[in-house]
């Protein structure tokens, strides 16, 4: 199934993206360190955001299939850009805080599910993506 997304350039290094099926919109802005104002997510910020939200989503799909949810889970990611040329993302360290005990029966399944998310598989393998799981139950 294909999903249509349109982008309108509004000037000032700002773009408005529209999700075809829902018509929801968001704005991107170039980051301060790349000629922008940094007033919104940058395109590379969205890559980091996509990775974190994808991991959270697939983990919750798996949890729901097993009859529970992970409300209160937190995922944080840091985007590190290259210092050389070409400008690119070089590192996306991720911390996933799960509101379950470390001894939870599905621990290995949930961790494997996060690492199998579509975005994790889609991000270039040269990008370092260390993942830390913190079990807070």
| Cβ–Cβ under 8 Å, residues 40 and 14 | yes
pLDDT at position 87 is 95
pTM for the model? 0.94
pLDDT tier at 118, thresholds 50, 70, 90: very high
CA–CA gap between residue 29 and residue 16 (Å, rounded): 9
CB 87 within 8 A of CB 80: no
Q: Are strands 74-77 and 80-81 parallel, antiparallel or unpaired?
A: unpaired
Q: Are strands 25-29 and 74-77 parallel, antiparallel or unpaired?
A: unpaired
Q: Where residue 109 falls among pLDDT bands split at 50, 70, 90?
A: very high
Beta bridge partner(s), residue 128 = 91
Q: Is the pLDDT of residue 104 over 90?
A: yes
Taking CA atoms, 18 is separated from 1, 13, 55, 68, 134, in Å, by 17, 17, 23, 33, 35
Averaged over 93-97, what is the pLDDT? 98
- The pLDDT tens digits for 78-88 are 999 999 999 99
Other beta carbons within 10 angstroms of residue 3's beta carbon come to: 8
CA nearest neighbour of 55 among 2, 135, 125, 133: 133
Give mean pLDDT, residues 97-114. 98
Res 137: pLDDT: 80
- CA 32 – CA 40 distance, rounded (Å): 10
**pLDDT (0 to 100) of residue 1:** 86
pLDDT, tens only, 56-68? 999 999 999 999 9
State the pLDDT at residue 65.
Answer: 98
Task: Report d(CA 100, CA 32) in Å as an integer.
Answer: 38
Q: Which CATH architecture has domain 42-135?
A: 2-Layer Sandwich (3.30)
Any idea where the domains of the chain sit in the sequence?
1-41, 42-135
31-64 residue pLDDT tens:
999 999 999 999 999 999 999 999 999 999 999 9
């Amino acid at each position: 199934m294909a999903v249509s997304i349109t982008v309108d350039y509004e000037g000032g290094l700002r773009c408005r993206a529209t999700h075809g099926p829902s018509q929801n919109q968001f704005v991107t802005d170039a980051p301060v360190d790349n000629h922008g104002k940094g007033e919104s997510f940058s395109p590379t910020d969205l890559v980091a955001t996509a990775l974190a939200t994808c991991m959270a989503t697939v983990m919750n799909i798996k949890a729901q299939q097993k009859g529970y949810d992970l409300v209160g889970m937190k995922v944080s990611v840091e985007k590190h850009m290259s210092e050389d040329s070409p400008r690119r993302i070089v590192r996306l360290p991720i911390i996933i805080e799960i509101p379950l005990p470390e001894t939870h029966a599905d621990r290995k399944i949930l961790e494997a599910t996060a690492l199998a998310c579509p975005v994790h598989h889609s991000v270039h393998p040269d990008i370092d993506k260390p993942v830390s799981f913190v079990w807070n139950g």
